[in-house]
Amino acid sequence: MFPFSAKSDLPDVLLVDDDLISREVTATLLTMTGCNVHTADSGDMAVRMVADESCKPGVILMDAQMPGLSGAELIAQLRANTKASIIAISASEPSREITEAADGFLLKPFGAEALRKLIEGYKRQDEPSSMDPNDPVVNMEVLAQFRKMMPETAVRQIYKAVVVDLGKRIDALTSAIEKGDRAEVRRIGHAIKGGCGMAGAVQAAHVGAMLESSPLEPKDNQLDNSEALLHDLRDAARGLERMLDAELPA
């Protein structure tokens, strides 16, 4: 076996695939890329591994179609036990339900280069977050004001619109970061700061402000910092979704 060593700046990866050949080939590609790799042959096993912290992945690669616990249901159970980014992998186009639940998608067959680019887009889980840990997901005073002005259904619609808009901004931001377009990163950050600030979405607005302040000229690994902020923005969007379910159930 080749003596590959893990790169310290790459996230630990949990690979979930019921097919032995696919699992072994992908695990080998990940190892060649420099990742520490953990594997699970079923959705149930993956949930157990993250729940008992036998592994603490920064990224989870999961086959989109497996027997038993799989798909969007598996993603939901993983989300309940880990903050790892979840990437669906499949030999066919995934359902809309899966693409909306996952953080990304990779079509089989894929090579080492495609896998490396995907993994490098995510920071290690133990890196400090750029979000202020004291920031609430939502400013409760703003939420209370909305509730005084309009019915609960209308308030939910506002925050649902924020979540949907963040999804679009995240896609645009991902593209801008891949192109190295710092001006576009700043423009998107400004829009997020303004819109989320008006809605009282504190965490997302904070990340938007940090994106807006990114320098136009490349220096000090600024692109890597933008990718870390992108990761935080996904976390902020998921926090808003959890807030909706808790405070404003449909």
Structural contact between residues 91 and 119, judged by C-beta atoms closer than 8 angstroms: no
Q: Are residues 144 and 110 in the same domain?
A: no
Q: What CATH number does the domain containing 69 carry?
A: 3.40.50.2300
Nearest to 79 by CA among 43, 27, 128, 123: 43
Q: Are residues 144 and 106 in the same domain?
A: no
What's this model's pTM, rounded to 2 decimal places?
Answer: 0.52
Among residues of the chain, what percentage have pLDDT more than 90? 28
Per-residue pLDDT band at 54 (split at 50, 70, 90) = confident
Per the domain annotation, does 1 fall within a domain? no
Q: What CATH number does the domain containing 185 carry?
A: 1.20.120.160
Structural contact between residues 203 and 131, judged by C-beta atoms closer than 8 angstroms: yes
**Tell me: the pLDDT tens digits for 164-188?**
999 999 999 988 888 888 889 889 9
* Secondary structure element (H or E) that encloses residue 167, with its range: helix 152-179
Q: Are residues 149 and 67 in the same domain?
A: no
Domain count, the chain: 2
Q: Are residues 116 and 149 in the same domain?
A: no
Per-residue pLDDT band at 161 (split at 50, 70, 90) = very high
Using CA atoms, how far apart are residues 121 and 129, in angstroms rounded to an integer?
15
Q: Are residues 230 and 163 in the same domain?
A: yes
**Tell me: the pLDDT tens digits for 198-222?**
999 999 999 998 888 876 555 444 4
Which two structure tokens, joined as six digits, stand for 101?
A: 């639940």
Q: Are residues 96 and 150 in the same domain?
A: no
Q: Are residues 104 and 185 in the same domain?
A: no
**Tell me: the pLDDT tens digits for 215-242?**
655 544 444 567 778 888 888 898 888 8
Q: What is the mean pLDDT of the chain?
A: 82
Per the domain annotation, does 65 fall within a domain? yes
Q: Are residues 150 and 115 in the same domain?
A: no
Q: Please determine, for residue 23, whether its predicted confidence score (pLDDT) is greater than 60.
A: yes
Range of the domain at 175: 140-247
- Distances in whole angstroms, Cα of residue 63 to Cα of each of 21, 42, 50, 52, 96: 13, 9, 17, 21, 15
Q: What is the pLDDT of residue 97?
A: 86
Per the domain annotation, does 5 fall within a domain? no
Q: Please determine, for residue 5, whether its predicted confidence score (pLDDT) is greater than 60.
A: no
